[in-house]
Structure 1
Amino acid sequence: MININEVIETNAMIEKENLDVRTITLGISLLDCISDDLNTLCDNIYKKITTVARDLVKTGKEIEREYAIPIVNKRISVTPIALVGASACKTIEDYVLIAKTLDRAAKEVGVNFLGGFSALPAKGMTKSEELLIRAIPQALKETEHICSSVNLGSTKTGINMDAVALMGKIIKECAYLTRENDSIGCAKLVVFCNAPDDNPFMAGAFHGVTETDNVVNVGVSGPGVIKYALEEVKDSDFETLCEKIKKTAFKITRLGQLVAQEASRRLNIPFGIVDLSLAPTPAVGDSIAEILESMGLERVGAPGTTAALALLNDSVKKGGIMASSYVGGLSGAFIPVSEDQGMINAVKAGSLSLEKLEAMTCVCSVGLDMIAIPGDTSESTISGIIADEMAIGMINQKTTAVRVIPVYGKGVGEEAVFGGLLGFAPIMKVNSFSCENFIKRGGRIPAPVHSFKN
């Protein structure tokens, strides 16, 4: 039972500490839309999305109003389009047409983003997957709401280095085509190792083939709530610190569970998972960096940062997992640069480098996220950054990702401005030594020995 004290406490979290439900994401399977005729396929996709998701935004607003819980985004994820379009798409332009169809459907139902313009070449790349990947830059240029992801490796299969090399080129092309807006197209493109099937967060959301026809997933947030809670145990030992985080994460996740179940009931669509990630925003006080600094770090990036993040991530999961019947997605703490004012401040102060961020990704939920780098960074260097992060995910049996933005025409010390939840980012220095000969070897980095568990 929820008592009046919990209600009052939750209201305070919402009003003063930036607590929100970051997203309700409706997953929609498009497998029954498949046709070998492109026009028929596009018609099927549009009808399916606009039918299944017609009440999503309205339902989200009703829950917001009735429960006084902010729900920041209403989103859709669909079956990876490289699978859906394989029979009908013979050219890059065919896939761009599907992207435009998805965008039109997203506008019709009123969602913020639609994810799933995706491919899964973790072990090998089909012709369809290659066509979709090569279509990504044009698709993101010509659409407003579409997000794209590519899964390049897994613990079970290793890393597809041919796809890694190709993605270096694709990211550079995407940056160029959206250069007039600080290469913002790259902010809607993410590459994964061990991509989950049930992730509600963009840009990486897609509706996995292991999922049911339609499903409601919810992503909660609350860095500000955790930071506020830690102020109460400022001088305590680590055991007390962990207990405080766990108890607070439990309360945050209960809110997400409530919203997820209510959305599921009203939409008459099964509840999938709650992703209990701490997702920061540019708002003051809504920062992962500030949480870490409240533990005793002078600035994020100082020695001890990775240990502090590991403590935070583990405690959030331990606390949240007891508050929901199904926890999934990415779950833990995100460490994007552009979306976190504390991270931005640390980069500007010189305490946080790309190399330190990579070290931190060994213990956090995702990876190198929303990082602006010089526009003249080479394709092979971007591929090398991706390969390093994929290796961390593969060896550690965890999801990792890369969302880097080579900002066309800008260099270290300048800023890229994306607006809204995406915020702005100082452009970070990248190691100037070449990895070109390593990347051009091609082929596949084999899966680690601990992957063989059958």
Structure 2
Amino acid sequence: MISIDEVGQTNDMIDRERLDVRTITMGISLLDCVSGDVDMLCRNIHRKVVSLAGDLVRTGEEISQEYGIPIVNKRITVTPISLVAAGACHTVSDYVTVARALDRTAQEVGVNFIGGFSALVSKSMTPAERLLIQSLPEALSRTERVCASVNVGSTRTGIDMDAVALMGRVIRSLAQATAETDSSGCTKLVVFCNAPDDNPFMAGGFHGVTEGDAVINVGVSGPGVVRTAVETARGMSFDQLCETIKRTAFKITRMGQLVAQEASRRLGVPFGIVDLSLAPTPAVGDSVGEVLRAMGLEEVGAPGTTAALAILNDQVKKGGVMASSYVGGLSGAFIPVSEDQAMIEATSQGGLTIEKLEAMTCVCSVGLDMIPIPGDTPSETIAGIIADEAAIGMVNQKTTAVRVIPVAGKGVGERAEFGGLMGGGPVIPVNTRSCADFVNRGGRIPAPIHSFKN
């Protein structure tokens, strides 16, 4: 049982250290919405989402008020649309119609985002999956709340380089389609390797086919709380530092467990997982980078940064798994550049490069996240960045992802602004040496030898 006393212990964290529940996300299966007609498919999706999630926002607000816990976002994830819409969508325009129906439905129920305009193509693409991917520039530029993801690789199957090359072109096209808002459409698109089925965070959330009909997943966040705790451990040994982070992560996750159980009970939807990722925002004091500095680094990107991040990620997980009956999603520490004030400062000063960020992704949750890059970056270079990150995930049996924003019309050092939680930051350089001949070989990078386990 989780007592109200435990919630009371978090009051200072909420009031002074920006502790919050980042999202309550309802996952909804759309497999029973399948139809051969696009209009009927859209009606079926609308009916099911509204029937299950119609009270999601109100319930989240009630829990927030009753317990005094900020709940920042209420969101929905759905079954990957490439699976649901394959029988009805035969053109790019058909998929755009579905995306717009999802957007209207999300607006009606009042959620911040709806995730799952997605395709899972880690081995190869069906014609329907290829069409969905090709629809992404128009679909995401013509909607406000729809988020998309494409899984291009896994440890078991390897990396679909045809899909990787296509995603490089799609990201470039989406950047151009939303040029008037600093290519903000790219903030709603993630390219994964080893994507999880139960991720409550956007833009990569979708309701996996291994899930039930509906589920409540909660994402907690508390980089400010962890930073305050780490500052009390200055000068202490690594043993004491790790213990401090673990104890703090335990308290944060217990709060998330309470919110998840309450939301599940009130909505009549099973509890799924708590994702205990440290998810920063552009606000000062709500930064994973500041945690790393409190651990003893002069600046993010300094020698020792990857080791410090490895400690943080591991101890957050160790503390969190003891506090919740089910921990899942991504769970760890995010390093989204434009959403983290300390990361923004480090990239502005040239101390944090995309190569260092790639090294850091080997030990953190997800990967190269929310990184503004020059608008004239070739699609093959973007594909090469995706391939590198997917290879890290494939070989190391972890989730990795890429969410880069080639900001149309802007170059290195110019600032991009995406607004809200998406933040903004300086455009950072990428390696200009060509990888076009490598990316355009086509086919699939085979799975690593250690994937053959059964």
TM-score by length of 1: 0.99
Instruction: Show the 5 A alignment for 1:282-321.
Output: 282-321=282-321
State how far apart, in whole Å, the 2-side matches of 1:230 and 1:294 are. 6
Query: What is the match of residue 253 of structure 1?
Result: 253
Can you list the C-alpha shifts for 1:194-220, whole angstroms capped at 9, x where unaligned?
A: 000000000000000000000000000
Name the SS for the 2:191 alignment partner.
strand
Render the CA deviation track for 1:4-31: whole Å, top value 9, x for unaligned: 8744430000000000000000000000
Cα root mean square deviation, aligned: 0.9
Q: Which letter does structure 2 place at the counterpart of 1:288?
A: V
The amino acid across from 1:243 in the alignment is E
The answer to whether the 8 A contact 2:7-2:255 is kept is no
Match of 2:30 in 1: 30
Structure 1 counterpart of 2:209: 209
Q: CA deviation at 1:80?
A: 0.2
Alignment correspondent of 2:274: 274
What is the CA–CA distance in structure 1 between the aligned matches of 2:6 and 2:49, rounded to whole Å?
38
User: Which deviates further from its counterpart, 6-15 or 384-393?
Assistant: 6-15
Residue 3 (structure 1) shift? 7.3
Residue matched to 1:424: 424
Match of 2:78 in 1: 78
- What are structure 2's unaligned runs of at least 5 residues? none
Q: Is the partner of 1:363 in helix, strand or coil?
A: coil
- Secondary structure of the 1:23 match is strand
CA contact (8 A) 2:187 2:370 kept: yes
1:16-95 to structure 2, matched below 5 A, reads: 16-95=16-95
Cα offsets for 1:332-359 (capped at 9, x unmatched)? 0000100000000001111100000000
- CA distance in structure 2 between the partners assigned to 1:407 and 1:308 by the alignment: 31
- Seen in structure 2, the aligned counterparts of structure 1 residues 263 and 8 have a Cα distance that, compared at 3 Å, is closer
What amino acid is the match of 1:108?
A: E
Give the SS at the match of 2:86: coil
Alpha-carbon distance in structure 1 between the residues aligned to 2:34 and 2:341 = 44
Structure 1 CA distance for aligned equivalents of residues 8 and 131 of structure 2: 53
Q: What is the one-letter code of the residue matched to 2:430?
A: V
Q: Secondary structure at the match of 1:395?
A: helix
Alignment of 1:50-449 (within 5 A): 50-449=50-449
Return the letter of the residue paired with 1:100: R
SS at match of 2:147: strand
- Find the aligned partners of 1:7 and 1:271 in 2 and give their Cα distance: 19
| Distance (whole Å) between structure 1 residues aligned to residue 78 and residue 410 of structure 2 | 34
Contact 2:25–2:77, Cα closer than 8 Å, also in 1? yes
Aligned-partner Cα distance in 1 for 2:289–2:174: 29
Instruction: Give aligned-pair identity as a percent.
Output: 71
Alpha-carbon distance in structure 2 between the residues aligned to 1:4 and 1:128:
49
| SS of equivalent to 2:274 | strand
Per-residue CA deviation, residues 297-349 of structure 1 (Å, 9 max, x unaligned), is 11000100000000000000000000000000000000010000000000111
| Distance in 2 between residues matched to 1:335 and 1:39, nearest whole Å | 40
Matched to 2:322, the amino acid is M
Give the aligned length. 454
Distance 1:74 1:123 in 2: 33
Aligned residue for 1:371, secondary structure, equals strand
Hey, what's the Cα distance between the residues in 2 that align with 1:169 and 1:231? 44
The answer to whether the Cα contact below 8 Å between 2:2 and 2:254 also exists between their aligned partners in 1 is: no
* Runs ≥4 residues deviating over 4 A: 1-8
Distance 2:4 2:82 in 1: 50
Counterpart CA distance in 1 for 2:241 and 2:349 is: 27
| Deviation of the 1:38 alpha carbon | 1.1
Question: Following the alignment from structure 2 to structure 1, what is the Cα–Cα distance between the partners of residues 238 and 158?
Answer: 37
Q: 1:138 to 1:18 in 2, by over 3 A?
A: same
The letter for the 2-side match of 1:390 is A
Over residues 49-73 of structure 1, what are the superposed CA-to-partner deviations in whole Å (9 max), with x where a residue is unaligned? 1111100000000000100000000
Relative to the length of structure 2, the TM-score reads 0.99
Equivalent-residue separation in structure 2 for 1:141 and 1:359 (angstroms): 32
The corresponding residue for 1:9 is 9
- Structure 1 distance, partners of 2:243, 2:252, is 14
Aligned partner letter, 2:22: R
1:272–1:3 Cα change, 3 Å: closer
Cα distance, 1:398 vs. partner? 0.2
1:252-290: CA deviations, max 9, x gaps? 000000000000000000000000000000111110111
CA–CA distance in 1 between the matches of 2:339 and 2:167?
23
Distance 1:204 1:127 in 2: 22
Q: Which amino acid aligns with 2:262?
A: E
CA distance in 1, matches of 2:2, 2:257: 13
Query: Residue 90 of structure 2: SS of its match in structure 1?
Result: coil
Cα separation, 1, equivalents of 2:400 and 2:384: 15
State the distance in 2 between where 1:46 and 1:5 align: 40
Q: How far apart in 2 are the matches of 1:81 and 1:120?
A: 10
- The whole-number CA distance in structure 2 between the counterparts of 1:5 and 1:48 is 38
Secondary structure, aligned partner of 2:337 = coil
Q: CA deviation at 1:231?
A: 1.3
Could you tell me how far 1:39 is from its partner in structure 2? 1.1
